[in-house]
Amino acid sequence: MTSSLIGQSACTIVDRLKSEDVSPLDLLDALEERIAAVDPAVNALPTLCFDRARDRATELMKQPVEKRGRLAGLPVPIKDLTEVEGVRTTWGSPIYADFVPERSDILVETVEAEGGLIYAKSATPEFGAGANTFNEVFGMTRNPWNTSRSAAGSSGGAAVSLATGMAWVAHGSDLGGSLRNPASFCGIVGLRPSPGRVAATPGTIADNILSVEGPMARTVEDVALMLDAMTGENPLDPVSLPRDGTSYLQAARGGTPIKKVAFSADLGVTPVDPEVAEICRRAAYRFGELGVEVVDAHPDLSHAHSAFQTLRARGFAAAHARKLKEHPGKLKPETVWNVEKGLQLTMADIIEAETQRTEMIANAVAFLTDYDLLMTPATIVAPYPVEQRYVTECAGVTFNTYIDWLAIAFAVSLTTAPALSLPCGFTAEGLPVGLQIVAIPRGEAKLLSGARQLEKLLDLDTVTPIDPRPGN
């Protein structure tokens, strides 16, 4: 039974839970067996809490099926940047290596209220900094398609757990691509929702709209299912949005008419590996088979680098300046650099960045009023060697900082538009490539519908998990 459960979609599993064909305890048993067999090769789920999950499953099963929530007992791993009551939460940092929170994040409370069972914490780089999942607490997380390669980040552990069948759905977060990059590298689906769609406990910047929480899964429908379970307003999160009655799962299945879409290999802001660009172009233009007009175009996002560098640095300084002072030598160089950059900002720098962001939001909204969707590569390269801390050059262009290679993702983050990474093909080496699909801000329903229509055309069978594949 274990292997058959692991290979099914989250939607199928939830249907089986609601019909009581399987129990939440069956699922936890299947996951525990799969993790023991698979995780030593990839290091995706370093902290497990099956006893807690089974206790909550037992309590949940005392309720009538119709009162068990949208997930009805579906297990969910939570990224190790997010607090879960009574479960070790490290942020990938030696400073918090033994920290156990007394209360869960708002997001976790929402997921558990919808019948999600938290059974693991997924690996992340230190404080989510850098799109390669490694840290000094747990070590490196490896890409299951080739274990010598990076899983990207910062939601790398979540993406790997999905690709290998150690999860049916997962939680991730995204500031500059942290959901989309690992989804692309691991051949799964990751959705960055509009700011406020998913409520979470605020950090030091209470009205932060650059970082969001979001769902990950192996298929578009499964991501939509998880988004339905994550959405909702909470008064502690001042930017959170109320549920408006939309079922994102129904939207994904609904086949909303898509008339005109745009493709851009680079958004005018970054070099892109030619093989990756061509794989994404071929996938995007397959919309034409549905009678959709596909053209090459993109909005003006030319200020993305300067605005993002400033706003990200401000956020890192606000969140981590005290840690840098109180724990010298315990933060990795990339985090130190971002904090110090933030501390050196002037008010003029911040005003300029906010002005640029406002202009880019307006440009994106105008563009996405004319086009149903915008598509680009989700990442500019295929998975790179895991020992390499970050991408230093692409297509003959050398990058100045460790985050420059993420521009095709962070340019979209600045617009507040929802964006999804959809598996769209493989390189000659057999490594996954993701297509970034973007909709107008708060347009998750159209985004999921369009992505599902293209997913059917591409037919890459992402429901089936893989066993880790050793690489040189």
Q: For the chain, list the domains and their CATH numbers.
A: 2-304+347-458 (3.90.1300.10)
- For residue 454, CA distances in Å to 50, 62, 159, 375 come to 37, 41, 21, 11
Q: Provide the 10 A C-beta neighbour count for residue 2.
A: 16
pLDDT tens string 32-90: 999 999 999 999 999 999 999 999 999 999 999 999 999 999 999 999 999 999 999 99
* pLDDT at residue 375 greater than cutoff 80: yes
- What does the pLDDT read at residue 46? 98
Q: Strand runs (DSSP E) across 95-241, as ranges?
A: 117-122, 134-135, 139-140, 169-174, 189-192, 212-217
The label of the residue with tokens 């099926």 reads 65
- For residue 186, CA distances in Å to 102, 131, 460, 467 come to 33, 13, 13, 12
Question: Which of these is catalytic: 154, 194, 211, 413?
Answer: 154
The label of the residue with tokens 């692409």 reads 394
Active site residue 4: no
- Give mean pLDDT, residues 85-111: 98
- What does the pLDDT read at residue 260? 98
- What does the pLDDT read at residue 237? 98
How far is it, in rounded angstroms, from Cα 290 to Cα 322? 54
**How far, rounded to the nearest angstrom, does the alpha carbon of residue 346 sit from its chain's CA centroid?**
31
Q: What tokens were used for 358? A: 């406002």
CA distance from start to end of the chain: 34
Active site residue 9: no
Q: Provide the 10 A C-beta neighbour count for residue 66.
A: 8
Active site residue 62: no
- Give mean pLDDT, residues 230-253: 97
Contact yes or no for 336/224 (Cβ under 8 A) = no
- What does the pLDDT read at residue 472? 73
* pLDDT at residue 403 greater than cutoff 80: yes
* pLDDT at residue 173 greater than cutoff 90: yes
Question: Which of these is catalytic: 150, 155, 161, 178?
Answer: 178
- What does the pLDDT read at residue 33? 98
How far is it, in rounded angstroms, from Cα 144 to Cα 464? 13
Q: What is the chain's mean pLDDT, rounded?
A: 97
Question: Which of these is catalytic: 79, 332, 341, 446?
Answer: 79
pLDDT tens string 413-446: 999 999 999 999 999 999 999 999 999 999 999 9
**How far, rounded to the nearest angstrom, does the alpha carbon of residue 382 sit from its chain's CA centroid?**
17
- What does the pLDDT read at residue 2? 58
- Give mean pLDDT, residues 106-112: 98
